[in-house]
Structure formats: structure tokens, C-alpha cells
Amino acid sequence: MTDTGTPRRRAAIIGSGNIGTDLMHKLRRSHALDVVAMAGIDPGSDGLARAAALDVAVTAAGVDGLLDMSVFDGVSVIFDATSAPAHHANYARLQSTGRLVIDLTPAAIGPFVVPAVNLAGLTEHRNLNMVTCGGQATIPIVGALSAVTRVHYAEIVASISSRSAGPGTRANIDEFTDTTARAIETVGGAERGKAIIVLNPAEPPMIMRDTVAALVSTTDTSTLTAAVTSMVSAVAQYVPGYRLRQDVLISAVPPRDPRRRLVGGTERELLQVTVFLEVEGAGDYLPAYAGNLDIMTAAAVRVAEVAR
């Protein structure tokens, strides 16, 4: 961690599972944030044990235990790394405190935020939703395309190792697809969005791979490619393992192609842009193949460092 001379803001984490524990390690490297508390519900969890060993205050009494902690008075930002149903209950208890709450579940109480796309316009909100891992990986690409042309339809496929899909992910599959599809439209700027998640049981485990297929109005192909590559570089500033797997593919959609049904057949000239991505985790707490979790925690830290 670099000493900037500015006092770090205190942070707390709700959720002592994989995401919460990985998040704790990233926060300890932050130049702007100091993690001082972790709340869970399992007193035997590895996350609480690791936090206590690092002199982070812990409680196994959930959000109520966090509110009762003496360190809570100094906390200005809270990360919720539990589940969508749990976040609704947690935020009901936290809202009156006025703290910034960053939601890493698909609950979507607050506005969606993808740091490289729309963070600047949301810094005054008190509840910010991190969409999903697939959303954090793919919405920047949709947003980059929307900035230079009309995106009629965008479809994303997020493929992750089955080993990196914990109980929270598996319990929230429906929320994942619904939340990501909505964010493709509201944040990414696509007129229609669709999201698919694949849990791949391959051994050895695969790292996170994402595909974005977008139907866009015809424009200069070099402009489209430059927009995508620039956005990949922007995301990699806070997710170092985020990268293109191959060159951006751009092809014309023929007049009678069935893909035109997805956009109502109104465009006389239409291109399909296909982008293949992969996300390698930093290995802070989880294996490098768990890029799906890494991108969520890294993006959440970036949000908290900027928002107030």
C-alpha cells in the first residue's frame, strides 16, 4: 500500500465467505480504505478466523452484531457480500445509519454501478449495486460500443468454473440472468439485453471467460475496435487479470439473416461485434481461476475508493 498522506476511510464487510474474505485482502492493500470489521453468521468460518488473525474486529451475529461493535461508529462504507435475500434484510437495518453500502449481491436495491462505465454519476447514492460478475466483465464492452454507435441488441455469456460458484452464486442464478440483462440495457446502453451463465465442471478448472455478441448500426470498424480495446485497458487498471482473448471480430449481417429478428428488421445495415474476454484472478484468497469473484471484489474496492 502506498502512503498518500490522506487518512483512510474505515470499511466493514458483511459476509465471511469466499467473496467477503477475498475482499478483505484487497481492502488491506487499498490506499484509501482501512477494513476494520467483518460480520458473518458462522463462528467457525475461515473468513472470520483470518480476519481476527489480522486484527480485524469480527462478529458471528450478522448485521446486528456489526451495529453493536464499538468500531462501527468510525465506519463510513459497508460491503455486503452475502446473498440477494440477505441484503434486503441487511439494508433494512443499515439504511438509517447513512453509511455508503456497496452491494455485491444481485439484490439491486440501489442503482447498478460498473466503475469504468457509470461510476462518476452515482457517487452520491447511499446504496450501490455491483450487478454480477458477468455484468462487471461484459457491460464495459457494451458501454464502449454504445458510446460510438447504436447497440440494438447485446447478448453475453459468462462461463465460470463450477468450483468458483459457491452457494450464493448457485442460489441466485435467476437473479444473475435478470439483473445482468437489465444492466446491459440501463448501464451498457443496449436497446435489448440477454445474459447467460455457464458453470463449467472441467478439470483442471477453467478461468472465467466471457463472450459479448452485439448487433450494432454500421460504423467504421476501426472505431469499434478502438472503443473495445480502450475499455479493456480501463477495466484492467483495477482488474489486472482482465484481457481480450483474441482480436475483436466484426462481420456484416446479411439482409435475410435471422439475427435481424432480434432488432425488428429496421436497420438496413447491421454489424455483429463479437468480443472474447477472460478474467484471471489475482490469487489474494481464491485460486487464479476464480476471476468471476475477483472482478466483483476488485470493482467494489474501486467504487468505494471513489464514492463518498
What residue type is assigned to position 35 of the chain?
V
pTM score: 0.94
Examine the domain organization and report whether 276 and 153 are in the same domain: yes
| 260-294 residue pLDDT tens | 988 876 667 899 999 999 999 999 999 999 999 99
Residues 140 and 73 in one domain: no
Residue 160 annotated among the catalytic residues of the structure: no
Give the mean model confidence (pLDDT) for residues 164-170. 80
Question: Tens of pLDDT along 55-103?
Answer: 999 999 999 999 999 999 999 999 999 988 999 999 999 999 999 999 9
Query: Does one domain contain both 45 and 140?
Result: no
Is 127 marked as a binding-site residue?
A: no
The answer to the question of whether 121 is labelled as a binding residue is no
Cell of 239: 482488474
d(CA 188, CA 158) in angstroms, rounded, equals: 16
Cβ count near 121 (within 10 Å): 10
Residues 244 and 161 in one domain: yes
57 within some domain? yes
**CA–CA distance from 17 to each of 22, 45, 246, 286 (Å)?**
8, 7, 34, 11
Answer positive or negative: Cα dihedral of 59, 65, 68, 74. positive
Q: Same structural domain for residues 168 and 209?
A: yes
Supply the range of the domain harboring residue 26.
9-105
**CATH code at position 139:** 3.30.360.10
In a domain, 305, yes or no: no
Q: Is residue 171 marked as binding?
A: yes
The counts of H helices and E strands in the chain are 10, 12
Which is catalytic among the residues 41, 100, 114, 133?
133
Per-residue pLDDT of 19-56, as tens digits, reads 999 999 999 999 999 999 999 999 999 999 999 999 99
What are the backbone dihedrals phi and psi of residue 158, each rounded to the nearest 5 degrees, phi first?
Answer: -105, 120
- Do 101 and 168 fall within a single domain? no
How many separate domains does the chain show? 2
Q: Which cell goes with 217?
A: 448500426
156 and 86 in a common domain = no
* 203 and 165 part of one domain: yes
- How far, CA to CA in Å, does 38 sit from each of 19, 64, 85, 161, 307? 12, 12, 19, 27, 21
Verify that 79 and 151 share a domain, yes or no. Answer: no
Residue with cell 458462522: 42
